[in-house]
Amino acid sequence: MTAVIIISALLLSPLFILWLLSPGRLKPYKDSSGRTLPNSISEKIWVPINGVNQGMIIQGKDINNPVILFLHGGPGVPMYYLCEKPFAKLQEDFTLCYWEQRGAGLSWKPGMDPDTITANQLIADTISVADYLCTRFKKEKVMLMACSWGSFIGIQAAYQAPEYFSSYIGIGQIADEKENERLAWQYLYEECTKQGNRNLIQKLDGFDINSEAGIWAFYNSPVRESAQHALGVGSTHAMRSVITGIFLPSLLHKAYTLKEKINYWRAKVFLAKHTALNKELFEKSLLQSVTELKIPTYFLSGTYDYTVNKNLSKAYLELLQAPVKRYIEFMHSAHSPMLEEPERFVKLIREISQTLVF
């Protein structure tokens, strides 16, 4: 009996520790005397957006500041736990809304109908969230900042409803995912050949990259992600493993309860297996569907980004019509310059905001 108790305790202790690390509460902003700053905000809330309660984290030291709506990547990878520290200085000058998209993270629940989770619905949700933020914080417009998958829906929302947005900032801006995957395979194959990495070469040879089916298979294969991280062209230039770079940080962050952390990954699997979001991304070229934005537009790319090809993003911006447009490259980053070069990123966002009307 004693042995059973000891074994049970050993098995349960990691879960207990994880539970202790999961209070699910946000810290308020306080002054030097320990009092909450009067105009600050630090909350995790659920808001009805187009018929579905959707979760978001909103933080800032002064609600009178301009508002930024941040669209996370994925599909299904909310990024507050990664962005909180790099964005800390932004929250001195902006109110940040980290919306967790329909079916992802805080906005997922068991029994959701996967047929109601489409790219067009997420675009409509983006516009509705912007409307909510404008109304709540008494703003005419918000800044729209979108990362990776978020840039696929974000740029379409900016195209459809520019009246809600003072500017559009695409980080790792998607242009044409099918072509992007072909270029990614080509780069990975060439680099593996240079390095004599026969193991990865053999795996990459398993895809007929000259056919759409082969490109689609590569896009969905774990080989793609593992090769990108092995070569430093994945989520970040330094990240070599999704387990240590994304999975563990998602479990350790205190903003989420243990149930919310478990649901985060249940939602990710749900979106991948039961919705057509990845297929919609793969099949739609923004080069043809979004050729003009009526607001200032900025594309930010990392030099080492081959998750979303930097050259394809740059070429897209050259074709895109906008009143102001600018391509900015981060020389020490891969797919996440806001995480890899946060000081330069924060400085850039501040500079952009000074030219805008809210």
Q: What is the pLDDT of residues 299-323, one digit of tens each?
A: 999 999 999 999 999 999 999 999 9
What number is the average pLDDT over the span 229-250? Answer: 88
pLDDT at site 4: 55
pLDDT at site 358: 63
What CATH class does 41-178+242-353 carry? alpha beta
Q: In terms of pLDDT, which residue wins out, 246 or 96?
A: 96
pLDDT at site 2: 63
What number is the average pLDDT over the span 240-262? Answer: 88
Residue 82, φ and ψ in degrees, nearest 5? -90, -35
Using CA atoms, how far apart are residues 232 and 238, in angstroms rounded to an integer? 6
Using CA atoms, how far apart are residues 8 and 117, in angstroms rounded to an integer? 41
Query: What are the structure tokens assigned to 100, written together?
Result: 């967790």
Angle between helices 149-160 and 119-136 (to 10 degrees): 70
Using CA atoms, how far apart are residues 281 and 176, in angstroms rounded to an integer? 8
Domain boundaries, the chain: 41-178+242-353
- pLDDT greater than 70 at residue 3: no
Q: What is the pLDDT of residues 27-71, one digit of tens each?
A: 999 988 889 999 999 999 999 999 999 999 999 999 999 999 999
Q: In terms of pLDDT, which residue wins out, 122 or 17?
A: 122
What number is the average pLDDT over the span 123-138? Answer: 98
Q: What is the pLDDT of residues 149-158, one digit of tens each?
A: 999 999 999 9
Question: What percent of the chain lies above the pLDDT cut of 90?
Answer: 82
